[in-house]
Amino acid sequence: MPTDIRFSEKALELKAKAREIADTYVRPNAVKYDKAQEYNYEAAKAVAEAGLFKTFIPEEYGGHGAGVLALALVTEELAKADSGFGVAFAVNALGSFPILLGGTEEQKKKWLPQVANGEKLVAFCLSEKYAGSDASGLSVTARDEGDHYVISGEKKWTTNGGVADIYSVFCVTDPTSKSRRISAIVVEKGMDGFTVEKTEDKMGIRCVPVVETHFDNVKVPKDHLIGGRPGMGFKHAMMTLDMARPGVAAQAVGAAQGALDLANVYANRRQQFGVPISQHQMVQQMLADMQMKTEAARWLVYSVAGQVDLAGPDGVTPRAAAAKCFATDVAMEVATDAVQIFGGYGFMEDYPIAKYFRDAKILQIYEGTNQIQRMVIARGLIRESQNLKHLEGFIPTEEQKTYSEEPAITG
């Protein structure tokens, strides 16, 4: 398992550009777009012009080929300024990964350059009303009708829906099969029968739309089937989530750091009992714990992202789950403690920390709840136990146990 973390010059350059955009276009407008529940097109345009959408796209398709670690660095900087915009940026990678990982050469050449240039935004359509964490339980269908598929059904919680131009849609193409039941198909904005319906009124990440996407007998050409072979959708979805989870974890690291920075500034300004509250030991303990956990999350994320870049997504599943789970739990904990440090003001929307608290919660839920992540981690550990047979001799069996205590005498 690769453990070294290599920051390329390109990755650091992109990180610096992301910080500049965050300071200029994202943070100053975060409250405005949160209250209006509107997409920050100005920031998205700046991201495109700076070439940040090229971060995760290979060079042969018009990107920088900078990798998942660079994607994590850029996402962290944007999310530190506004968690919602961090999501709005990173979801383009989530929606593109099925094409990047499973698409044909023709499909990659058709769509990835458009994503790299910021010409087209992307969404990922997997979740349904009765199929969230259980991705195998999908009900949206795609009927094979010769030279095209006809997609019918409804998807829930499509992030970037309405804004996006390209949708990676996972649907049932063979209901009789268990292993080859699902396929991934690209649907483009404007196709007949494809509509964006309800826009959710969310607690947090309000600047990025989350919608219901409806498919009313949408005719899609056969060459939009990702990979050109039906039945590969579940594999594509799982590979995509493994690749994308470091990005979600990076959103969490950015959110945690942003909340910590605000709490630190406030703690050194707010005075109680004649001194800044940062001089009180209990507040110092809170700040110290927030810093330690944020830093631990950051380097776990970097490590997993670096592993993906060096060795690919194979075998990364438990570590990607661990990074997502730990970092998002940290983001929620740090945001909660930051509200506590702000005291009564932390509960008021006049102060920016309330938004960090609202935004943090979804990180523990989407792209696999943290309960599911813990199941994935545990299953990975159970499999790993097969490589630990050399330790069995150090664990006595029931017959080999010795007892130092005399048996109790009764009667």
- Could you tell me which CATH number the domain at 234-385 has? 1.20.140.10
- Give the separation between CA 131 and CA 137, rounded to whole angstroms: 5
| Cβ atoms < 10 Å from Cβ of 192 | 9
Which residues are bridge partners to 320 per DSSP? Answer: none
Q: With 0.85 as the threshold, say if the pTM is over it.
A: yes
Fold of 9-121: Butyryl-Coa Dehydrogenase, subunit A; domain 1 (1.10.540)
Return the active site residues. 367
| Contact in structure between 169 and 155 (CB atoms under 8 Å) | yes
In the numeric block, which tokens belong to residue 97?
């990964």
In the chain, where are the structural domains located?
9-121, 123-231, 234-385
- Give the separation between CA 143 and CA 298, rounded to whole angstroms: 44
Helix-strand-coil split of the chain, %, nearest 5: 55, 15, 30
Alpha carbon of residue 380 to chain centroid = 20
Q: Which CATH number fits domain 123-231: 3.40.50.720, 3.30.70.20, 2.40.110.10, 1.10.10.10?
A: 2.40.110.10
| Helix-helix angle 83-102:41-49, to 10 degrees | 50
- Give the separation between CA 404 and CA 387, rounded to whole angstroms: 32
Q: Which one, of 159, 5, 185, lies nearest residue 87 by Cα?
A: 159
- Give the separation between CA 245 and CA 253, rounded to whole angstroms: 12
Residue 261, phi then psi, degrees to nearest 5? -60, -45
Residue 133, phi then psi, degrees to nearest 5? -65, -30
pLDDT in tens, the chain (411 residues): 555 788 999 999 999 999 999 999 999 999 999 999 999 999 999 999 999 999 999 999 999 999 999 999 999 999 999 999 999 999 999 999 999 999 999 999 999 999 999 999 999 999 999 887 777 789 999 999 999 999 999 999 999 999 999 999 999 999 999 889 999 999 999 999 999 999 999 999 999 999 999 999 999 999 999 999 999 999 999 999 999 999 999 999 999 999 999 999 999 999 999 999 999 999 999 999 999 999 999 999 999 999 999 988 888 999 999 999 999 999 999 999 999 999 999 999 999 999 999 999 999 999 999 999 999 999 999 999 988 989 988 888 877 766 555 555 555
In the numeric block, which tokens belong to residue 266?
């406030």
